[in-house]
Chain A
Amino acid sequence: MGVFFLVPIAAMFEFSTRGNSVTAPRTMEAWTNIIKTPDLVDAIIASLELAAITSIAMLVLLLPTMVWVRLRLPRLNRIVEFICLLPLTIPAIALVVGLFPISRWMRINISDSILMLSFFYLILVMPYSYRALDAGLAAIDIKTLSEAARSLGAGWGTVMLRVIVPNMSSAILNACLLSVAVVLGEYTFANLLTYENLQVAIAYVGLVSAGTSIAVAVASLLFAFVLLMVLSFVGRPRERMARAEETIVAPESRILPLRDSYIGVQK
């Protein structure tokens, strides 16, 4: 499996380090070209910004909605699921055509910035994010946990941020990672709506320098790997446990438990 995955990447890296002729020595020129090409750098920055905005918007929109539906409107669960999974069944080209009038209106009336793409990317990432969050919600008893928190005086915001989110951090990180991966790899929307994101820039650079476009592709893959590693380590819940064990030491028992006394005498 690893070989299946790594061999193409190694081949891409090998290609990106070839010289200009068959006999020319290996060179990192294609890689240094990445930072020497302003359009490419701008596209990378724009794609990263889009990934961040889309992930945050996805969480803000989906997580409270899914929690609310599970807690208060379980009958709507199927409908929400259907809506969230719908983009999977519609080809990207059909989505672009359908959304084009909205895009044009937004460009005229709101902004022409590439970051407006995040609105459309939000639709694209919904199926993947929904599945990840749904798995996380299914793993915890949110009804009981939220009711317990509410009975202790917590408002809905506190319930969400201090009870539900920490208990599904892995699912949230997975949803974010999938969103980032989808956004970084998106080409159709950006190209047809005439924005220049990472994939569009790679395609343009590829017309001039195949080596540089391959180097950018390898770099974006490596970025995704690093992100995955970082997120998987950050998401480890047991780290906190070890810290808490070290910091809090309970005092000696001062009140006898029932098995020793019915009257709770002080020692």
Chain B
Amino acid sequence: MTATQAGEARAGVEVRLEDLRRSYAGVTALDGLSLTLAPGELVALLGPSGCGKTTAMRLVAGLEEANSGRVMFGGRDVTGLPANKRDVGMVFQAYSLFPHMAAWENVAFGLQIRHVATGERKQRALDMLELVGLGKYANRYPSQLSGGQQQRVALARALAIRPQVLLLDEPLSALDAKVRSRLRDEIRRVQLEVGITTLFVTHDQEEALAIADRVGVMQSGRLEQLGPPTEIYSRPATPFVADFVGLTNRMRGDVDGGAIKIRGASIPLVHPDVPDGPAIALVRPEAVSLVTDGEIEEGPLVGTVIAVVFLGAVSRVTVDLGDATVLAQMQTSAASQTPAGTKVRLAFRNDPVLIQREEQAAPASA
């Protein structure tokens, strides 16, 4: 039996959220969210705490009711259906296995509700546990499983009922970094094999960028940008997205004719048709390089390395310009040439950058 047979996936359905709104005691949690998930697609909703991503997921699951808007599964309006009639599988942030049931009983729970015959129920439960690599742990109780194993059983349990939609509500946030990374890949593998439409909620940008077909960045109950991970990272639509996804240097400069001049260096803008004037450029650390060749003469872009942080294949170098600090990210081999105390000159890659006007911006670093 293959994994796909084990899951016996239905063809993934399209999931459409139309202008969903939800508020709690006058506080708006979701402010007109519209989003369409293609069949079999994995979309990650990413955002800071309180941005409305979990609310969106709970509305899709039927665990809460929207003030207005619609949720459609495969063209069918499920907005008014209670959670137990929605046909979704859900993995929660908190460990949600039933403590009094063994792993296989947990997985078989939804099948029992659906009156699947005992023999088939057990077999399917064991098959699903195999799918997540826990066949040998079928008889263990949740208290006998590690956090990562519990979440894998929860994933098997959610998939065992062959739901139309899979909802993952920060399922990795309680796990340590190594387990999180491994389980993240495993979730993606299973999702691809089963072919189920999946909504994944997380506040961890690395997780979202690594696992999703598309990432939706949310702020204050609204979707700021929706797109493939590479687009979200390299072509952020708003300063918030640029700021939230990845590290960003905020550098003061002057917009002049579709480019921004920062300490004498000119960088093109993503949106060149903006009025001239002072602004803050959002520059990725990897767009900053350090020049050490020859004699470094004093200038606005000359500074001293004050810290080098080793991150594995790459390193992050902090340069003190006197009145500001700038982060640069580069290969570790290159960073090793500029230990702390080295005098360097900054250079910027010619990639277009986003800007933020002074009045919108938090205090800038340069």
A and B associate = yes
Interface residue ranges, A against B (CB under 8 Å): 140-141, 144-145, 147-155, 158, 162-163, 166-167, 237, 240-241, 244-245, 248-259, 262, 264-266
Q: What are 13 A-B pairs with beta-carbon distances under 8 A?
A: A147-B61, A147-B83, A150-B62, A150-B84, A151-B84, A154-B84, A155-B84, A245-B139, A248-B122, A253-B133, A255-B130, A264-B189, A265-B2
B129 cross-chain contacts in A, Cβ below 8 A: 250
- Of residues 114 through 152 on chain B, the ones whose CB sits less than 8 Å from some CB of chain A are 114, 122, 126-127, 129-133, 135-139, 141
- Is A253 a contact partner of B130 (Cβ separation < 8 A)? yes
- Is A154 a contact partner of B94 (Cβ separation < 8 A)? no
User: Smallest CB-CB separation from A169: which chain B residue?
Assistant: B100
Q: Is B6 interfacial (CB 8 A cutoff)?
A: yes
- Is A241 a contact partner of B126 (Cβ separation < 8 A)? no
User: Smallest CB-CB separation from B99: which chain A residue?
Assistant: A167
User: Smallest CB-CB separation from B103: which chain A residue?
Assistant: A250
Q: A248-B122, A253-B136, A257-B186 are in contact. Are A149 and B102 (CB under 8 A)?
A: no
Interface residue ranges, B against A (CB under 8 Å): 1-4, 6, 61-63, 82-90, 92, 94-100, 102, 104-105, 109-110, 113-114, 122, 126-127, 129-133, 135-139, 141, 154, 157-158, 161, 167, 182, 185-186, 189, 193
Q: A151-B63, A152-B109 are in contact. Are A240 and B1 (CB under 8 A)?
A: no
B62 cross-chain contacts in A, Cβ below 8 A: 150
**Which residue in B90, B99, B157, B193 is a CB contact (below 8 Å) of A140?**
B99
- Is B110 a contact partner of A153 (Cβ separation < 8 A)? yes
**Which residue in B96, B99, B139 is a CB contact (below 8 Å) of A248?**
B139
- Is B100 a contact partner of A166 (Cβ separation < 8 A)? yes
- Is B90 a contact partner of A262 (Cβ separation < 8 A)? no
Docked pose: A145 CA to B193 CA in angstroms: 28
A158 cross-chain contacts in B, Cβ below 8 A: 113
- Is B92 a contact partner of A152 (Cβ separation < 8 A)? no
Docked pose: A152 CA to B185 CA in angstroms: 24
B158 cross-chain contacts in A, Cβ below 8 A: 151-152
User: Smallest CB-CB separation from B4: which chain A residue?
Assistant: A264
Q: A153-B114, A264-B193 are in contact. Are A250 and B126 (CB under 8 A)?
A: yes
Question: Which of A150, A152, A237, A254 counts the most B-chain CB atoms under 10 A from its CB?
Answer: A152
B297 to chain A, nearest CB (A): 53
A259 cross-chain contacts in B, Cβ below 8 A: 133, 182
B181 to chain A, nearest CB (A): 12
Docked pose: A153 CA to B112 CA in angstroms: 10
- Is B189 a contact partner of A145 (Cβ separation < 8 A)? no
A70 to chain B, nearest CB (A): 15
Docked pose: A151 CA to B82 CA in angstroms: 9
B4 cross-chain contacts in A, Cβ below 8 A: 264
- Is B84 a contact partner of A255 (Cβ separation < 8 A)? no
**Which residue in B96, B139, B186 is a CB contact (below 8 Å) of A148?**
B96
A142 to chain B, nearest CB (A): 11
- Given contact pairs A167-B99, A251-B126, a sample of 16 additional A-B residue pairs in the complex whose CB atoms are under 8 Å apart: A144-B92, A147-B61, A147-B63, A148-B96, A150-B62, A150-B63, A151-B158, A152-B110, A153-B113, A244-B105, A245-B139, A250-B136, A257-B132, A262-B189, A264-B189, A264-B193
